[in-house]
Structure 1
Amino acid sequence: MVFIVTAEEMWRKKCRSIATRNSKRIRRNSMLALGAIIFHSCAILNPSQDPVVPSSSSAQSVSGGIIAPNGSGIPVIPGTANTEQQALIDAINREGESFQYRGFSEQIPQPEIIEGDDIVELNYEQADLRIILEELANALDIAIVLDPSIDNRISIRTPPDRPLQRDDIWPLIRLLTRDAGILVEQIGDVFNARKLESPLPAEIVTADSLSDTGGAEVMQVTPLTFVSSEAVIQAIEPFLSPDGSVSQLGNRDLLIITGSEYQLNRINQLLMLLDADPFANQGIHLYQLSNANAAEVATELAEILLLIEGPTPSYQVRGIERINSILVTAPAARGFEEISRWVRILDADIQEQVEQLFMYRVKNLDALELADTLSNVFEDNEDRPFAEEGEEPSGGSMFDGLAGEAGQAASIDTEIASQALTALPSNAAVSADLALQIVADEATNSLLIRSTARDYRQLLTTISQLDVVPLQVMVNAVIAQITLTDDTRFGVDWSRIANDAVLDPISTSGVTDFAPNLGGLMFSKGFIDGSARVEATLEAIAQNNEVRLLARPSLTVGNNQEGEIQIGAEVPVEAGESISAGGLSTTNIQYRDTGIGLLIEPKINEDGVVNLIITQTLRSVDNSASGINNNPVFNNQEITTTVVVRDGENIVLGGLIQTDTEQLNTGIPLLNRIPAVGNLFSYQQDNTERRELFIVLRPEIINLNEEEGPQYAEILDRFALASELFEKSNI
């Protein structure tokens, strides 16, 4: 069947198509202009004029819920300052218009086809294009005038079993002439085919007038409205290969595109998609929050969308903290019903979002020190605003007037503390982005904490790890002296003694008989806990030395605290003399400590290793010399060291040697004082005694937080047994 379409009818259809496109463009431009005028009018409204009033359903939705649709389907955001602001939000919110693209196909006007045989067979090999065009024109029974300068030669052949239909002849003519650079123009009922002599395009058109051209190559001037020319050039260059071109006019978003009519038609269809109004073709919704923080809701909503839609969600979320709102964009006509539901959930009006005042009673630490520690951790967040119950978040500081409110009746929830400690693990990570203020009350050793319930629960995780019963160290000490002999005049060889104590251990099975006389020191092998380390050390020392026990103190010291043992006497020293106004002289006396001093500071780590900072001092009065105003002269020896020892191991401190010189004068009374012969009845001798002080320390960790750890009662029982053994030994 052959369809007959006259050139006049094709021309009328073309005109109607152009008129339709121009009409649509005019209507769209008119709508945009009208919308701009309306929006500008709303923006310049005087506050004294009547504001824009939303529908009654909108007003009801504001008071009845967080986010609710009104009659127009646009979500209403509660908490707006006035109806003008709500009107602006309504103007922003839109679903977006989806662009319907149905593809592109070239419409080629055809001459009237005379009914007849509709089968055409072609078989040409390097034939003159003029001859082929004449044959094809004869097949269509049309008149065509051929330019004599057409000298192209082509080969074309149709399969014997698949000849061309008559309807395919005119598209074939257009194809052959376009590829050969031949312009086909219709003048009345005659078609004129001529070769273009100039390389310049035959016509300069716009996208609206492109369909009116008949040139093989056309230059089109295309202004861009919404996108940059650089982005568009990269997208359309592949459609112009190999002979077309595109360039930008200066710094204006104006493109000069050169190509065939077919190429430009495809590019214009693509530009309709690229150069589109993003506000018109994309859904936009602004949600103003009433309770939650905009940045937190935006982050949580983005994570939810990432979980639901995958790594490239179609919805984009951005928090606007200054107005406490979130902006959500989506492809056109995607809808925001599900997003609105999630916003309602995340912006729920719950008690945890409201600032409250909590009291925490510190159990084991000093409240002032704990408050100072926590404040230093969270001090960077002091200026974060709070949302009071029933109020919008504001830019004011949360601490304004807190000092006067600490003693007032506030919302104090004592149950949250216990709930938080059981709900969170002890090693749970705590966010440092907490908005709170901490004030210590010395009278009750408590903390007053101003924060939301959520932040307070997180803070309790940190407090629960700090406010625990501190670890303690019980230091069992043995302080003794060794009288040095000629063999040990340079001091005791502690390395040899330590080796002897290790190589020759003593049985530790229970309490046995007393050890041999250790130069006046008797020790039980079951001393303290049955460990032989102390006894072995003392026995090794006493094998060749006279040992005298000076003290066996036991000191319990808190972790990172200092403990001191002082054994000796206080010696008065004249510090100065003052004379009053009446001439009365007063002597100032100070007392100086003498004897043995031991300062211990333990530091316990989680592995049961104790770092001990030990300072050992030995102060004595030098009887062989005298100071100013006959004040005594003091000898001072000091050792400061840091040692690392495991729980229950022993430490030996030695090396402090003291020399005492004594003049012994004895004789027969009265006779030893007779001049000249008194020496015959008296005896004089200078005695020098050298002694070395040594201390054996055994630290034992006391952890009252563990039920299986050593307790005070057990340790006291051990020392009661040791005391009994010492008493039996007359030490």
Structure 2
Amino acid sequence: MKKGFRISALAALVMLLASCASMPMAGDAGRAPVAASERQPDAVKPELEAEEGDKGAVEAGSTPAAKPSNVLQEGTGQLINIDAASKLPRKPPEQGKASLNFADMPIADVVKMILGDLLGENYIISAGVSGTVTFSTARPVTPEQAFSILEMLLSWNNLALVYVDGQYSVVPSANAVRGNLTPRVGSAEQARGYEVRAVPLDYIAPTEMEKLLQPYAKEGAILKADNARSIIVVAGSRRELENYMATIDVFDVDWIKGMSIGLITLEQAEAKTLGPELEQIFGEQSQSPLAGMFRFIPIERLNAIMVITPQRRYLDEAERWIARLDQGGNQPGVRLYVYDVKNVKATDLADRLNDIFGSSGGESSRANTSSAAGGLAPGLQPVELSSSTGGSLNLRGPTGEKASEPKSSRSSGSSGNSGDSRPAAASGGGAVAVGGGGAGGDQGLAIVEGDDIRITAVEENNQLIIRATPAQYDAIRGAIRKLDSVPLQVHIEARLLDVSLINNLRFGVQWYFEQALPLLVPPDDGTGTGGGSSAAKAVVERMEYGVVNGTSNDFIFRGTSAGALVQMLQSEGDVKVLSAPSVMVLNNTEASINVGQQIPVVSSQFVGIGTGGSGSVGQSYVQFRDTGIILNVKPRVNPGGLVFMEIQAEQSTPGAASDAIGGNVPVDKKTIETEVAVQSGDTVLLGGLIQQNDSNSQSGFPGLMKIPVIGRLFGSSSRDNSRKELLVLITPTVIRGGGESARELTEEYKKRFQGLSPLIEDMEAAERARKELKESER
């Protein structure tokens, strides 16, 4: 009976202990169980992997994951080597046999007595060594003690004892290292006189060890703190080196293992805001006894605060206080957030976010709400989609009648605007209206049960105002961080050339490249037959080009080949640079360059009858038209560096006033409009616009040259059939990295202008010579 009772009691006790082991402690509520030394070091790995993954992987419609557990790593609290700091000084050696007694004795005599007579060592005393010493021992000392006493007495006079080539040298301390000593490693007990030791460090950076060692070292004792090699180099006597190395052993400990570190994730507050507040309360700015015991580092990428403290018990206190301060205000659910946009326009970013999260945005959203949802093909009717709490799907046509509906349930949600016929997306169990039309166009994303997202841009401050729940704002902020990046810029360098079609260019530039250019290539190149001028050959050898397509007048030149092209054309005929503009433009933004003049153009005229029928009254409306060189370029860069460009180039010249019609002079215009794709740094050549000028002129004696038959004897006639072609060379260069690349581009332009200095000086000298020649002819 008693045995059975004991077995039953033992079983009940085992079950009780098992249930106690499975129950969490009251103080650990809301925290994952962790070990005493480290609490869940891998708890944030999934979040880190998600952050480093696909930049576009921001899932707006999904339910946010639960708040990740805080990561707390409790340290040992030992930030110095206790064993090294607890070592007792060495026992004094046994009593020696020599007594020392010096009274104003010169240094040379002291060195002779100890180093020569007592120790029997060879020595040299450097020139200029002087001074006296007064010292006395109460009891006899050993030879080892006598050597240490000699080093101490020499240090009082700024002297050092250096062992070189089997003998000791007494030199000034400032000259002891250079040219005499090299760094060594090992124990200081092996030192013979003044030596240099390279001490490897295991945990602490040498520069930080230098700060710790500075109060305990003599001036000039620390020679080098090398972080790259993790060593600190010190110099001194044997006794000084022993002290330095013992101090290093005390402080060279695993700092991370000793410190307690926590990564505390925030739910409501922002890390960049809460971090400075914690520093004011607990940090060095608090001017309290706790100053210096905490370090708070905001981790904006994770919206978390990293806490570092040498005291383990302070880590739990910091976690509790952060939880108390992690409040987003008294308003439950939906909150208002303000985000400072750094790199792009807030209005553009708001449009993109509204596209991602389904909101049509606030008043500053420039996109047309009716067109934001996309158009339909002709003959198709829009259909409204809405989800119910029961999971049914309702389809409505433009008349509001249901196209299909499960009989088991009815839709309990609404589309937000009864007049909206565009699709709605399901989210959070209620119906969602994406960008309503008409009056509902500025209502944003309306989610049933109070979940309402609204994103509005403040153009004046380049900020976003976001109304959302904390969970929704986490998803929105993730998208913002991906989209708010430094935009690409494109430097566009253009040259408009007016080429006279003479000599080899008489049939046009395209014919020149296809027919005449191979004749100029050297025969050993394999693509030509030789011939042509040597200057043209030299230029052709530097060129690398290709045709955009087989039937156009467009060519692409690699790198600096475009400059070689201009030189070659100049060698073949007359080439004039009409304009050479250069402009920096944002990616996917149009740049416009206009060099010329505006001419008045009468667009309309009105003629009316005057008062009382006394004549007519006229009124003209005049507009101004741009003429000259007009260039519009819109670049678009793909991830591989290929630049797509929409190009519109125009050269227009006003005609003579005598040819005016209705008060408007004619305008001669040459226009190129195309789309091309080139690699960054390459040059595209657009041509084929040829203009021919046919004119006849006569000169001679007035009257006489018009006499029939013999009039030609008194005058002459000439005919001009000149032909010119307009060429457009455009070089796009993608600027990556923001301001640094822009500065490099500016420096390149400076070098170009500096290279023009000799040419400018030669031109000025030639102009002066020309003026002097004219004056001498007078």
Q: TM-score, normalised by structure 1?
A: 0.38
**TM-score normalised by length of structure 2:** 0.36
